[in-house]
Amino acid sequence: MSSTEEMIGRQDVDDLDAILAVTNTEVTETAHAVRANAEAIFTWDYEQSRKPLQRLYDKAKTSQWNARDLPWDTDVDQEAVAVANQIQNGWGDERMDLTGTPFQNWGDKEWLAYNIEAQNWTLSQFLHGEQGALICTAQIVETVPWIDAKYYASTQVMDEARHVEVFSRYLSEKLSGFYPINAHLKMLLDDIVADNRWDMTYLGMQIMVEGLALAAFGFMQQMTTEPLLKKLLRYVMSDEARHVAFGVLSLKEYYAELSAAEIRERQEFAFEAAVRMRDRFLQQEVWERLGVDVKEALKVVVHDPDRPLFTSMLFSKIVPNCKKLGLLDAADGWLRKRFTEIEVIQFEDWVDTGEEYATLDEVAKDRAGASA
């Protein structure tokens, strides 16, 4: 069993100095190498014995789409979108006293600049996360011992290539700036890729990173008034729902064979991933780019009255999926306690993605609508 310090590098999950001590030191590099330690596994058992994975594989083959078919000629006015979205509206005066903070003299111009940067940053992190998924899923093709899972994972590799393609194109053609990968997201992706246990790739990527992405895409998809982004996110989400379901269906079977000690290691990894993703949403690089004192800004951000709702909402897919996998309550409910501390436990009985993925297939719905 590890201490909190060993798991996340600090004793207090909200220690801002420790969070800010993690920085991306490679922002000017064009490549980043991580040593993958898992073995590539051939299987000579070609019998397709896992029906749920076969169904998912079939669905993936028929619900492919082409990035080229999105309405790329849409004219995107980023300022108008930023105003309409109001990702952050300045923690309105009635709710928070900004006197003595870096924001005390901010007016509409500064908040507009912030909202534009926040959008550039958010889409950039989606892009980097998608590349993480591309790499992790290619790794799963090699490392998972089951033929049905190798087949399915190969379709996900194609999906993730398409996701990298659409976010990259949206950023370069429609937005106004690109951000390097967030330090906390990078640390998490590195840990996932480096782990030598094949199921940890699934837990880190399919359950945690993609579970969060599914919730975050859903949130942005509902909020945005920009039609190209709305459609792009609807289609990406259709794929992501399958990816998370792939994680749930595979790990459900595998975890049934693990010892209590091995399950505890998975709980700790899930907690570490949750904290990294929570840290990433502090957007430290945005404050830096805007020339604001980052720590002073974060002191305000963490007290934003909307923040607990927003952050916890990001876990609305992760928590029920962890519950379905038995991770919440194993080892005397260790993960349940941690998720209670970081205030995300309330989602435990929401629908899990192993059940929900088919209803999120917007690509199939559009095709049925078009041929009707």
Footprint on this chain of Fe ion (rule: CB under 5 A): 130, 133, 160, 163, 210, 240, 243
Two tokens, residue 187:
């640390």
Cβ count within 10 A of residue 108 = 10
C-alpha span between 325 and 315 (Å, rounded): 15
Angle at 316 between CA 22 and CA 51, to 5 degrees: 110
Return all residues near 61 (Cβ < 8 A) that are at least 6 apart: 155
Comparison of 58 and 77: residue with beta carbon closer to Fe ion: 58
Shortest approach of Fe ion to residue 193 CB, angstroms?
15
Shortest approach of Fe ion to residue 155 CB, angstroms?
11
Shortest approach of Fe ion to residue 167 CB, angstroms?
9
Shortest approach of Fe ion to residue 240 CB, angstroms?
5
Comparison of 78 and 221: residue with beta carbon closer to Fe ion: 221
Give me the sign of the Cα torsion angle 297, 298, 303, 308: positive
Shortest approach of Fe ion to residue 239 CB, angstroms?
6
165 burial via Cβ count (<10 Å: 0-12, 13-18, 19+):
middle
Comparison of 210 and 268: residue with beta carbon closer to Fe ion: 210
Comparison of 24 and 206: residue with beta carbon closer to Fe ion: 206
Return all residues near 334 (Cβ < 8 A) that are at least 6 apart: 264, 267
Comparison of 130 and 348: residue with beta carbon closer to Fe ion: 130
Two tokens, residue 351:
């629908």
DSSP 44: -
The beta-strand segments (E) located in 33-115 are: none
Shortest approach of Fe ion to residue 130 CB, angstroms?
5
Comparison of 113 and 358: residue with beta carbon closer to Fe ion: 358
Comparison of 164 and 263: residue with beta carbon closer to Fe ion: 164
- Give the largest Cα separation in the chain, rounded: 68
Shortest approach of Fe ion to residue 221 CB, angstroms?
14
Tell me the one-letter amino acid at 31.
A
Shortest approach of Fe ion to residue 56 CB, angstroms?
13
Comparison of 22 and 161: residue with beta carbon closer to Fe ion: 161
DSSP 102: T
Comparison of 129 and 320: residue with beta carbon closer to Fe ion: 129
DSSP 15-55: -HHHHHH---TTTT-S-------PPP----------HHHHH
C-alpha span between 289 and 204 (Å, rounded): 29
Question: Half-sphere exposure of 92 toward its Cβ, with a 13 Å CA cutoff?
Answer: 6
Shortest approach of Fe ion to residue 249 CB, angstroms?
15
CA 318 → CA 43, 53, 81, distances in Å? 30, 20, 29
